[in-house]
Amino acid sequence: MAGSGRVEYTRLEQGQEGVVGRNAQSSDQDQSARAAEYSELEFGEEEDVRYYEEFSMYEPRSSKAQHIWKRKRFSLIHICAVAVGCLGLYAAASLLWGAIASTRSESDSVPARDGKAEPQNPIVAPDGRSRKKLLTYDNVNNVGSLVETKSLDWIAHPTDASIDGLYRELRGNMFTILKADNDTWEQPLASLDDVAKASQGLYSPFVPLGWSVSADWEYLLFNVHLERVWRHSVRGTYFVYNIHEHTMIPLTSDGNDRVQRVEWAPTGHRLLFVRDNNLFVNDMMHEIQVTEDGSNSVFNGLADWVYEEEVLGSGASSWWAPDGKALAFLRLDDTPVPTFEYQLYHPDNSSQSYPTDIRLHYPKAGAANPRVGLYVYEPSFDVGPPTSRASDNADTAFHVHEVLLDGGFAPEDTVVTNVAWMTETHSKLLVHVMNRVQDHVKAFVASTDPAQPKAKLAREHSTTGEGGDGAWIEIMQAPMFVPSRAVDSLTADAYVDIVERDGRAHLALFSPIDAREPLKWLTEGDFDVVSGTVSVGRHGALVSFASTQVSSTEFHVYQIDLAHGDAARALSPRPAGSSSSKRINAARSGTYSASFSPGGTLYVLNYRGPELPWQAVYSSSDQSLERVLNDNTNAAHALNEYDLPRVEFLQIPTDDGQAMNAMATYPPGFDPDARARYGVLFRVYGGPNSQLVSRAFSLDWHSALVSQADVPDMPWIVVTADGRGTGYRGRAWRSAVNKHLGVLEPDDQAAAARFFQHKPFVNPRRIAVWGWSYGGYATARCVERHPDIFRVGMAVAPVTDWRFYDSVYTERYMKTPHDNPDGYSASVVTNTTAFANARFLVQHGTGDDNVHLQNTLALVYRLQAANVPGFEMATYTDSDHSIYTYGVRPALYARMTNFLFRSFHELENKEFDFWRHHNPNTKA
């Protein structure tokens, strides 16, 4: 199950950004638009909104009967009196409105893109409503797309490490290397015309989807075809262009359309790639097949399904050494893992009469996990034919060697969570290993010398011993190497790692590499360092990271210069008045991220909200340097035409008196003095260590819902509350759900609902909840445990029984079904009686490889068997967990919109109760 903050697509070539999701890999710039299709909050347009438009013709609140009653009460005299009064009020308001309009000063306006002045403050009509445009289900995506996000693809200089801040870009017609702090520095690599000419006869049409450059800037790699496999993994077709000779060749002569992964070495122009689950290396002259046993059950240098989804957060399980002369990789054997089967139906393919059967090695809770082994390989390209196998080399030093973990867990109980090179060459590795239920971690130091195959146990930590809470240990990003030459005070090589201290995630510096305890703590306090944001400049002294030091709902960026002390310096927010952009000067508090250059001296600072985002380049040493990439000024002018929803951040008490982070989105023209006017829709995720309440800017389906004017008698507020179990609030808060998922999460949502039910402007009978994935599970549990509060629930792709979900995720929080049978039984959605008086919608993709349709079908079976009438189900053919296949995403949100309004209309009007199953022989 995707954790909060994970990226949807992984980078297909060398390079990483500093501050991105849980794993340090970032999505390729050229694939960002494609990846956006998989966002769970995207709402479409086109004809699929007809579900909502049809319902908008309904007359809510039994208005027909009310109108008859009113006609009886009101005489002609009453009507005339009301009319005269209204005319008088309208005349007075018109005069006042004209006076206000005529006296509006020029300072209240800003230049529009067409040169005309446009108002900066909302225009208020005489009736108190704004005359600005409102977000709708049709336009919210288009309006949201006005807000642009830019990034730089950093790249290292091939020979001069003192030159930092370089990035690659297709500028006009030229593939180019540029310098972020010098507008005149430019290194052209190749033109589009040269590339097109060299590609003739190889692939038609040759339209690159993405590109990258070798570390020595001598070759370009192009991908021209991509197929999505699982969440992060793809299968594609690749070609290599020689910059000096202007020639193009396929990446591999055999099976070039089946390449599963490609990565340049950090030096030179070596490549590793995976094809048919076998690992290969290539130096443009020779291709060596490293492994030979790849199959549907054996994965070399590539993650299988459960490692990709739950352990590595990436399709990659191979890592080049810093000098490019060796690589480490995992071999994952799924032979003992049971398979799950489902079908793809291809409804738009009239020539395919039979579905395609998909067989996936998927370990459900309690089932066998993949067997994992760690291997190292040092390729030799000096001799041999153009294509060969590693095993052909007579010198066994150049064969694949397994790293043995001395004192590790049993093979069936081993999960390798991190592998990191602890050297500037290729001599040493640090390996993090956990047991199956992830409450015990061990760190091993391994030599790549074949004569020393056993890795040494350096340190370990378990939560099941004395003083431990027995809960899980979070998988953090891989440690970062710091060479001793980079810091005068170091007498041995070191590394930076995220380690829990006093229930918080903090940075620790370990030296030497096999140290049992930290040499020093780089951070301390009641906050968390955000995993996936830590980077170390290639010189080794600059450590950059994001943390929740300001607030658990906003991330700020910091940097430590180990060579000049270990005090963290805040890089966000920027000092007031330091920018040439008025918008950047105006944005102070909020949440930030950053991506750092290879040397760590330059960085792109991303302001993410709550106001409109912006991006700018800054220097770690030169405070005067600024290059604005995008301040979204044009978007600000365009959005000023709209009356946008208002977001409030607040804290809500749980039943035991703790404070939940929450955010409420109010409709334009919200009236806090209204009486029982607004319904509240709770948006929930609630999975362990996740976060939804963030100060990041967002325009999505929720924004359109609160802005809707089609059903004026049913306005909505959308509330999100991060209850116990969610992240960035410390270990005690997070681990409260250990071994009993599905209890505290819905109870905390119910506490938040009661909090709003007591607001005078809220209709306490109009409380609904919805969520996706874990949020779908939490939604079903909210209805099951608190049907008196949540009268409508809408679940998308929910887990309904944790015995159906994958072992690595589920057992992390629930232990095994054998060890915690009561916890598993109590977590299943089974109480159908609670659904009898509620309205419940469940939607699921038939091709969901992640949360299987089995979950929804099991719940539907129970509801049908109990003759529960108030639920509906929709399936989406061939869609996976993201539900986007065949463009059905708009239909999903349109169905939820329709269901929400229609359900409360039915609940509040007895004439819609006709479909209930009453026994005519039973007296009322």
Q: Output the CA–CA distances (angstroms, integers) from residue 728 to 119, 249, 432, 476, 692, in the order listed.
A: 40, 48, 23, 13, 11
Which residues, 6 or more positions from 234, have their beta carbon under 8 angstroms from its beta carbon?
A: 9, 12, 226, 227, 228, 260, 315
266, 498, 841 from 538: Cα distances, Å: 11, 19, 52
Reply yes or no on whether 656 is catalytic. Answer: no
CA distances from 732 to 468, 729, 736, 751 (A): 11, 8, 6, 19
Question: How far is residue 736's CA from residue 740's CA, in Å, rounded to a whole number?
Answer: 9
Of 848, 849, 878, 880, the active-site residue reads 848
First to last CA, the chain: 47
Is position 773 annotated as part of the catalytic site?
yes
Q: What secondary structure does DSSP assign to 267-286, as a single string? A: STT-EEEEETTEEEEE-SS-
Measured in degrees and rounded to the nearest 5, phi and psi for residue 196 equal -60, -40
Say which of 199, 318, 595, 773 is annotated catalytic: 773
Question: Considering 232, 432, 881, 905, which one is annotated as catalytic?
Answer: 881
Contact of 224 with 202, CB cutoff 8 Å: no
DSSP-assigned letter for residue 122: P
- Which pairing describes strands 454-462 and 401-405: parallel, antiparallel, or unpaired? parallel
Handedness of CA 632, 638, 641, 642 (dihedral sign): negative
Can 183 be counted among the known catalytic residues?
no
Closest CA to 388 of 374, 398, 397, 375: 398
In contact, 480 and 535? CB cutoff 8 Å: yes
Spell out the residues 6+ positions from residue 82 whose beta carbon is closer than 8 angstroms to its own: none
How are strands ordered across the β-sheet holding 535-536?
535-536, 542-551, 554-561, 568-570
How many residues does this entry show for the chain? 924
Q: In whole angstroms, how far apart are CA 889 and each of 146, 219, 559, 706, 840?
A: 20, 40, 41, 19, 19
Residue 799 near residue 775, CB atoms below 8 Å? no
CA nearest 781: which of 719, 852, 838, 720? 838
Phi and psi angles of residue 293, each rounded to the nearest 5 degrees, phi first = -105, 15
d(CA 431, CA 444): 5
Residue among 627, 606, 543 nearest 151 (CA)? 606
Give the contacts of 449 (CB within 8 A, at least 6 positions apart). Answer: 427
Alpha helix (H) ranges present in 285-411? 305-306
Place of tokens 């980079």: 486
d(CA 542, CA 550): 22
DSSP state of 642: B
Point out the residues that are catalytic.
773, 848, 881
